[in-house]
Amino acid sequence: MIVPLVDLRASAAAVRDEVLHEFGAILDGMQLFLGPNLQAFEREFAAFCGVDHGIGVSTGTDALLVALRACGVGPGDEVVVPAQTFFATIEAVVHTGATPVLVDVEPDTLTIDPREVAGAVTPATKAIVPVHLYGHPADMDPILEIARARGLRVIEDASQAHGARYKGRRCGGLGDAGCFSFYFTKNLGAFGEGGFVATGDAALAERVRLLRHHGHVSKFEHAVVGYNLRMDELQAAVLRIKLRGLDAANARRREVARRYDALLAGSAARVLRSRPDADPVHHVYPVRVADRDGLRDHLATAGIETGIHYRTPAHLQPALRTIPHRCRKLEVTEGACRELLSIPMYPELTDAQLTFVAGQVRDFLEGRRRAGGRGA
């Protein structure tokens, strides 16, 4: 049995005919950016997130950059971010000229630890960027409390959490702004790239709109020095179509995660635990084992694709060697990067496939235990 880490062909097949029909209509009209599909998607996804304003942009990284810029983050400022995240979170801070301050994550969810955030804040801190990692909501209430007490901005990186809920509210609609990636492997993925800024702040939304389109206020007038960060009309059409099925797809992901949890219970594999007041959407399903590379080799031999999210912690990336940044103690992050392996997770995963995957994980770990090796 061959089991891919993500089955893009299966996800595309469900919407292929509708997408091709919509592409034809777009090509007939040839309004290829800032057109009716983008405008409609901005309304629809903002409403999905429970906020009043939404701005489609080119990528998730650009969403973070433009949201930070719109919040006034720049040189001389510090921004608190988790070290356990995709490097784009840190890149966006660096591109504003601000200093990233990397903090550790909670052991069970691997989302940013509010206690570490509190200890990292200084008079130079301008913003906090919690990441809803792997589709698990960060613990937002204490983070928002820290921000309110100190006058800080909170910009959620919800790039892996489309549809996740924290205490009944959608991730991306909890802070000053929520940033999403629509990279094609995401729970809501384009047929290419795309990003989004969701916010309930009308003034912040207007600044984001200006920055994403060269600061245009009219055809010949630029109010600010901006960027070219527009989402194209074709991707907006894809996202509108796929948004309709997002809740159902996320429900299937939760079902797959529950099955994995049950099938791996009692084994040496440790799985993430979401807090009881949160509804995760399981963008990926990582397991923690001591011999991560041995397990990966075993699964590859069995025809099972896996991923590593992430092998090298952000604070140890070569890119940061010459970039000003600060770090606190990062033991949880470093341990996770040594031990995490993502196994197949997507709505189209069949019961037979997930049972096979979990069985192969258990076979490897039980074999290691019988041989006296390090299974976990």
CATH (domain of 33): 3.40.640.10
- Band of pLDDT at residue 373, cut at 50, 70 and 90: low
Mean pLDDT across the stretch 103-114? 97
Say whether both 46 and 30 belong to one domain.
Answer: yes
Distance (Å, rounded) from C-alpha 160 to C-alpha 171?
Answer: 10
Boundary (domain end) residue, out of 195, 219, 243: 243
Using DSSP's 3-state secondary structure scheme, residue 53 falls into strand
Say whether both 214 and 286 belong to one domain.
Answer: no
Say whether both 364 and 255 belong to one domain.
Answer: yes
> Are 347 and 135 spatial neighbours (Cβ–Cβ below 8 Å)?
no
- Band of pLDDT at residue 370, cut at 50, 70 and 90: confident
Longest CA–CA span in the chain (Å) reads: 73
Say whether both 206 and 98 belong to one domain.
Answer: yes
Is 337 inside any structural domain?
A: yes
What does the pLDDT look like over 68-108, one tens digit per residue? 999 999 999 999 999 999 999 999 999 999 999 999 999 99
- Band of pLDDT at residue 368, cut at 50, 70 and 90: confident
Token pair belonging to 190 = 């384009």
- Say yes or no to pLDDT of 157 above 90: yes
- Band of pLDDT at residue 374, cut at 50, 70 and 90: low
Say whether both 264 and 139 belong to one domain.
Answer: no
Say whether both 184 and 206 belong to one domain.
Answer: yes
Nearest Cα neighbor of 7 from 247, 249, 179 is 249
Is 166 inside any structural domain?
A: yes
Question: What does the CA dihedral 111, 114, 119, 124 come to, rounded to 10 degrees?
Answer: 80
Say whether both 48 and 135 belong to one domain.
Answer: yes
Is 163 inside any structural domain?
A: yes
What does the pLDDT look like over 134-144, one tens digit per residue? 999 999 999 99
How would you list the strands of the sheet with 165-166, edge to edge? 169-170, 165-166, 278-279
| Count of domains for the chain | 2
Where in the sequence is the domain holding 126, given as residue range(s)?
8-243
Mean pLDDT across the stretch 149-176? 98
- Band of pLDDT at residue 375, cut at 50, 70 and 90: low
Say whether both 210 and 300 belong to one domain.
Answer: no
Is 365 inside any structural domain?
A: yes
Nearest 5°: phi and psi at 184? Answer: -65, -15
Boundary (domain end) residue, out of 196, 216, 243: 243
Give the CATH number for residue 267.
Answer: 3.90.1150.10
